């Protein structure tokens, strides 16, 4: 089954964002993901057993509990859904939200 081809305007309305907004969000997510992959050992050293919220390539908030982290992100005007949230477990297990 072939899906109908959608115009950019129709697609943007379904996604509830403009192409520029989508591009900006994908780039910010990519920068945050690179921080997790390339700086993992640094994060283990600086934020062991803490929740971290990474947005646009920077650690924007940390907390000993998930709730504390969410609160700190919101105080900065960031939606938790826009950040990569990860618990820095020193045992080697990974939990990414």
* pTM beyond cutoff 0.75: no
Residue 54 lies in a domain: yes
- pLDDT tens for 1-44 read 676 787 877 777 777 888 888 888 888 888 878 877 777 788 88
Residue 87 lies in a domain: yes
Q: Kindly state the helix (H) or strand (E) to which residue 4 belongs, with its residue range.
A: none
Residue 2 lies in a domain: no
Residue 3 lies in a domain: no
Q: How far is CA 65 from CA 38, 53, 56, 69, 84, in A?
A: 24, 12, 22, 6, 15
Number of folded domains in the chain?
A: 1
Provide mean pLDDT across the span 63-72: 96
Residue 1 lies in a domain: no
Structural domain boundaries enclosing 38: 8-96
Residue 48 lies in a domain: yes
Helix runs in the chain, H state only: 8-15, 19-38, 40-46, 66-75
């Amino acid at each position: 089954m072939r899906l109908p081809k959608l115009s950019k305007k129709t697609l943007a309305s379904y996604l509830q964002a403009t192409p520029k907004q989508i591009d900006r969000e994908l780039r910010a997510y990519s920068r945050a993901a690179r921080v997790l992959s390339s700086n993992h050992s640094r994060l283990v050293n600086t934020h062991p057993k803490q929740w971290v919220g990474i947005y646009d390539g920077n650690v924007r908030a940390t907390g000993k509990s998930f709730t504390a982290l969410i609160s700190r992100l919101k105080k900065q005007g960031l939606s938790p859904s826009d950040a990569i949230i990860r618990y820095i477990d020193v045992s080697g297990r990974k939990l990414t939200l």
